[in-house]
Structure 1
Amino acid sequence: MSARIFTAAASLLPLLAPTAASSYDLVKEYSGDSFFDGWSFYGNFDNLTNGDATFLSSDENKDAQLAYVDSSTSHAIIKVDNTTNVPFNEKRNTIRIASEDRYDIGSVFVADMYHVPYGCSVWPAWWSQAPDWPTGGEIDTFEGVNMVTMNQMALHTEEGCTQNSPSQSSTLVNSTDCNYQANENEGCVVTDPETQSYGEAFAKAGGGVWVTEFAETGISIWFYQRSDVPDAISSNSSSIDTSSLGTPVANWPTGGCDIDTYFEAQSLIFDITLCGDFAGADNVFAETCTGYCYEDYVVGDGSAYNNAYFDIASVRVYGASGTNVVVGGDSAAAPNAEWGLGSLLTAAGLLLGVAL
């Protein structure tokens, strides 16, 4: 997949009513010492987005310890190798994991994090996709590159899915066509205007929580910085009612994209790659970083990656009350699986967001 630089446009959208009320019950929790149970490690170089990175296998990670549970906090850490001296023409080790179970329409994913990866050349994401992408679609809840200050969210689908009349708080709409064949897989992208949704500001604010509702009525994403996390989420409740969460930051209603048609059960994915089609694109990289992506950051002693890590308190999955949303197997972690994480937002869009 080649990167395409596009100009992100901000659309002033009316704040409509929140999405339909729904009640969900806890079906799976990834946390504590057992956090990494039920995840598959990719175990291959980044043959998906041309990143200068090697994603370790589970066995390789046992020695490298780039994915582990911090004994002092019981939080899961997923990081880039920041201690190895990488010579020119070699890649740096990092992690990509995907849930072995998939979660169907009628799910809510709640990710509580205290730190997300950032830094020049760094391209992290928290997202999901169906195993036969682009069939079955993709949901990007968290994604950023280099030293940007705001998170972007997106869908990627087959032709026919668009964002139409969303009920959302963000007015920063980069694109509305979710078709992976349009604009070189740009996707339908919404940027969060909250500067504490990414990078150093996210960490200084104590992190935050993302809530992704994957429903027949549409797909919605909420973000709460630590001080604003509602009781319904911070209490680790066994159920959640999305009608209590207020207006989502981003929303893709079924009116523009029939969820039953374009989406199937999703594997949950964390990954951090380096440079590649997005973070390493010359114009994108130069907006927030100096020098050369690979030569000045990937190569060398690794100190550039001291902040390139996820610190995750938990991931909780809820299912619509009275339904079974868990689908076993078919993880999206296997090498050579399709990768839909290609939503490319430009610094022009980012700067526009800051200005607003």
Structure 2
Amino acid sequence: MSPVTAAYTQVAADYTPANFFDGFDFFTGSDPTNGFVHYVNRNSAQSQGIIRNDGDSVYVGVDYWSYTSTGRQSVRLESKQRFMRGLFVLDMQHMPGSICGTWPAFWTLGDNWPNNGEIDIIEGVHKNVQNHMALHTKAGCAINEQPKGSAGSVLSSNCDTYAPNQASNQGCSIVDNRDNSYGDGFNSNNGGGVYAMEWTEVAIKVWFWPRSQAPTDVWGNPEPVNWGAPAGQFSGDCTINNFFKDHRIIFDITFCGDWAGNVWNDAGCNNVASTCIDHVSGQPAAFANSYWRIKSLKVWSS
């Protein structure tokens, strides 16, 4: 069978609550997206309660109790293992809520950005309840419209980070039109839901299901060919192997920055504070619901 239709039987990585944090490095540099954030190391995050293992899940949050003038404390987790194609299945009970000032993401990234590519699987800002998916590449990669039955719509088709006639670093982007695919909408699902990203030689696809609607084979020997149209399908005029190589998996929660900071007024957040940084620095309690609660993350090799 071809890699597009084959079942997945070999696990390349299995992140469970018991081993989750051991599988990630804690990035502590300046935020590459210029967010108003201070990323802390594992010891600091654990001692402050920003991360913890709750037995059947892990909690990954932010400091929601301190005022700050230097950036709200958070974590950016980057997998120690690197991946080249495969199926990535994330089982979550909760993701960061739809909160003014926030910019959380679950994504994968290659070195020498954007030459080895970026895949944004879950991303949004402020009050979003619809998930935004995107690819960011060097010049030469573009995508087609979505297949029949997809929940997604193409917002931009050129994946080039510096594409003319697109916003800076917009890449090729797809929005999941369902209001339960991100933030508060996702969290209103009974028990959360499941995201899957399949990366093959010919396409990158993203599916999302509320937990009660997830296909039974998503938990073992999954067969994406039976899952129907994905929420986002990135394929077209793009030779995937030339643009995506050796990715780390990343979870982060940043604030303001290049995206969220630039659409503060457009998002209707100026009714809570005049600027994004004013709100994030001075209203810690607003971010109590800005956390990931992850049950598992499994990567299947093709």
Q: How has the CA–CA distance of structure 1 residues 171 and 267 changed in structure 2, closer, same or farther, with 3 Å as cutoff? A: closer
> Paired residue for 1:49?
33
In the alignment, which residue of structure 2 is the partner of 1:80?
A: 62
Measured in 1, the distance between the counterparts of 2:147 and 2:129 equals: 24
- Which residue matches 1:343? none
Tell me if 1:113 matches 2:113.
Answer: no
Is 1:192 aligned to 2:176, yes or no? yes
**Alignment match, 1:29:** 14
Structure 2 contact 264–276 (Cα < 8 Å) conserved: no
Q: 1:225 aligns to what?
A: 210
Per the alignment, residue 92 of structure 1 pairs with: 72
Distance in 2 separating the partners of 1:62 and 1:208 = 26
> Does the aligned pair in 2 maintain the 1:146–1:285 contact within 8 Å?
no
Structure 2 Cα separation of the partners of residues 178 and 277 of structure 1: 18
- Gaps in structure 2 of 5+ consecutive residues: none
1:66 — aligned with what? 50
Are the aligned partners of 2:126 and 2:267 in contact in 1 as well (CA < 8 Å)?
A: no
For 1:127-150, what per-residue CA distance to the aligned partner results, in whole angstroms no more than 9, with x for missing partners?
A: 001122111101000000011110
Q: 2:240 aligns with which of 253, 259, 265?
A: 259
1:319 matched residue in structure 2: 301
Unaligned runs of 5+ in 1: 1-18, 321-356
| 4+ aligned runs moved over 4 Å, structure 1 | none
Residue aligning to 1:326: none
C-alpha distance in structure 2 between counterparts of 1:60 and 1:294, whole Å? 25
Partner Cα separation in structure 1 for residue 78 and residue 232 of structure 2:
23
Output the amino acid matched with 2:204.
Answer: I
Q: Secondary structure at the match of 1:174?
A: strand
Question: Deviations along 1:48-70, whole A, 9 cap, x unmatched?
Answer: 11111011122322322312212
Distance 1:171 1:140 in 2: 14
Aligned equivalent of 1:124: 104
1:135 corresponds, among 103, 115, 126, to: 115
| TM-score relative to the length of structure 2 | 0.91
Over the residues paired in the alignment, what is the CA RMSD in angstroms?
A: 1.7
Contact kept? 1:120, 1:293, Cα under 8 Å = no
The count of corresponding residues between Structure 1 and Structure 2 is: 291
Question: Does the alignment pair 1:147 with 2:137?
Answer: no
| 8 Å CA contact 1:53, 1:93 repeated in 2 | yes
Partner letter of residue 242 of structure 2?
T
1: CA distance, partners of 2:34 / 2:169: 15
Work out whether residues 44 and 57 of structure 1, in 8 Å CA contact, stay in contact via their aligned partners in 2.
Answer: no
Displacement, 1:300?
Answer: 2.6
TM-score (norm 1): 0.78
Query: Which amino acid is the alignment partner of residue 103 of structure 1?
Result: F
Report deviation, 1:285.
4.3
Once the two structures are TM-superposed, the CA of residue 45 in structure 1 deviates from its matched residue by: 3.5
User: Which string of whole-angstrom CA distances, capped at 9 and with x for unpartnered residues, describes residues 146-192 of structure 1?
Assistant: 11110000100110000025436035211000001123110100000
The offset of 1:295, in angstroms, is 4.6
- Give the equivalent residue in structure 2 for 1:161: 141
